[in-house]
Structure 1
Amino acid sequence: MPDDQLMLAYAAGDTDAFDELYSRHEAGLYRFVRRLLGVRLAAQADEVFQDTWLRIVSARASFSPQGAAWRTWAFTIAHNLAMDRLRTSGREVDLPAQDDASDEPLDWIAASLDQTHPSSEDTAFWRAAGLQLLHCLDELPDAQRAAFLLHHEDGATVEDLAQRLGLQFETAKSRLRYALQKLRGCMRGYLDVLGHPA
């Protein structure tokens, strides 16, 4: 059953429909929230993630499939809550433990570079590259990081970005372009080493 229909079923009282929605989108929404908050606010990702689902639950009666698709609607809620947290937090420093690093950054950067099956001897190197990419993401201004993540995590087009963020098309396009330029610059030195292993 499509997400929109599951949400309508849940609004009509079918709790199994909600369980299915949660199961489908739990990992993607959490990853999106965590990356949007960045390293400094990673400790608050669980709270923002839970607030997102609470907002989804409380807004179930107002969801309309004629508006945005459910996934777009849910990611927009997550985006808005994360941006509110970034604005009110003052970007306090709260670094996660080193062993908090998962395979996600490795998978993400490897897929981006068409290296989806690194050999076992490359795994440590790719893990470090993934952590470097997360560091680069964290260094982006909040608005650029949000545009990048909505585009790459949620698949939002530039038109979607403009609509969801309440921006002019050219402004949304510029934010995404600047985010990509900064990420490429931040990663360039590291990725040059990939092409010329020691």
Structure 2
Amino acid sequence: MTLTQARITPSKVNANSRDEDLMLAYQQQHPQAFDYLYQRYRQPLFSYLMRVFNDQSLAEDVYQDIWLTLIKQRQQYQLTGSFRSYLFCLAHTRVMDMWRRQGRLSLEHSWSLEEHDTTACAWYEPEAQLAQWHLAQRLAHCLQQLPDEQRLIMLLRLELDTGLSQLAQQLNIAFETLKSRFRYAQAKIQRCLGE
């Protein structure tokens, strides 16, 4: 029996369960599984949003929207990639939606779950958190100096373990455009950090 076919009982769900098992359990109406996922990802997800927006109120609004989206679309989750990737894909789409509503992005640069199947979120593979956050304050400052589109590409590249061509495909952006944004962002951050 594969994991996707297995029924997960409440007794098998605990704080040490794998993310993917917890999400499958949540699909099967085990609310405690959601609680474990929320506890595990509330800080990393909110930190990501704070780095993107540098505005606590806006980050909180998008943060709540991401969790509500996860709740509403839990039946669409498929075990084709990591849960972390799926969650950060939801985050990306909500960031893009927010920027589009604010007029910071044109429609051609936006990407929404309403326009794409949520299984696309499974393509993301998360990268381990930066090994040390001793440069976190300086890096956060440098990231905030970037234009929105460059900052978003750089943050996603830092969060996810995927090549630029895959990232361009996932975000529905021309590869050369994404590569150029990434290169400019990288150069600006290096100058800002004095490296």
TM-score, normalised with respect to structure 2: 0.68
Runs of 4+ in 1 over 6 A off after TM superposition: none
Where do 5+ consecutive residues of structure 1 fail to align?
A: 92-107, 117-128, 192-198
What percentage of residue pairs aligned between the two structures are identical?
Answer: 37
Question: Counterpart in 2 of 1:73?
Answer: 86
1:180 aligns with 2:173: no
Question: Counterpart in 2 of 1:62?
Answer: 76
1:58 and 1:9 map into 2 onto residues whose CA distance is 15
Where do 5+ consecutive residues of structure 2 fail to align?
A: 1-16, 105-128
1:26 aligns with 2:42: yes
1:61 and 1:110 map into 2 onto residues whose CA distance is 34
Task: Note the aligned Cα RMSD (angstroms).
Answer: 2.5
Question: Counterpart in 2 of 1:2?
Answer: 18
2:98 and 2:158 map into 1 onto residues whose CA distance is 21
Task: Please state how far the C-alpha of 1:178 moved relative to its aligned partner.
Answer: 1.8
Number of aligned positions between the proteins:
155
Question: Counterpart in 2 of 1:83?
Answer: 96
Q: Higher relative contact order at CA 8 Å, sep ≥6: structure 1 or structure 2?
A: 1
For 1:33, the aligned partner's letter is L
Question: Counterpart in 2 of 1:49?
Answer: 63
Task: Please state how far the C-alpha of 1:49 moved relative to its aligned partner.
Answer: 0.5
Task: Please state how far the C-alpha of 1:56 moved relative to its aligned partner.
Answer: 0.6
Q: Assess if the C-alpha contact under 8 Å between 2:165 and 2:175 holds in 1.
A: yes
Question: Counterpart in 2 of 1:97?
Answer: none
2:78 and 2:131 map into 1 onto residues whose CA distance is 37
Per-residue CA deviation, residues 32-63 of structure 1 (Å, 9 max, x unaligned), is 111111x3x33211111010000011110011
1:84 and 1:142 map into 2 onto residues whose CA distance is 13
Q: Assess if the C-alpha contact under 8 Å between 2:130 and 2:158 holds in 1.
A: no
Q: Higher helix proportion, which one? A: 1
Per-residue CA deviation, residues 14-47 of structure 1 (Å, 9 max, x unaligned), is 111111211221111111111111x3x3321111
Question: Counterpart in 2 of 1:111?
Answer: 132
Q: Assess if the C-alpha contact under 8 Å between 2:164 and 2:179 holds in 1.
A: yes
Question: Counterpart in 2 of 1:134?
Answer: 140
Partner of 2:132, secondary structure, is helix
Task: Please state how far the C-alpha of 1:154 moved relative to its aligned partner.
Answer: 3.5
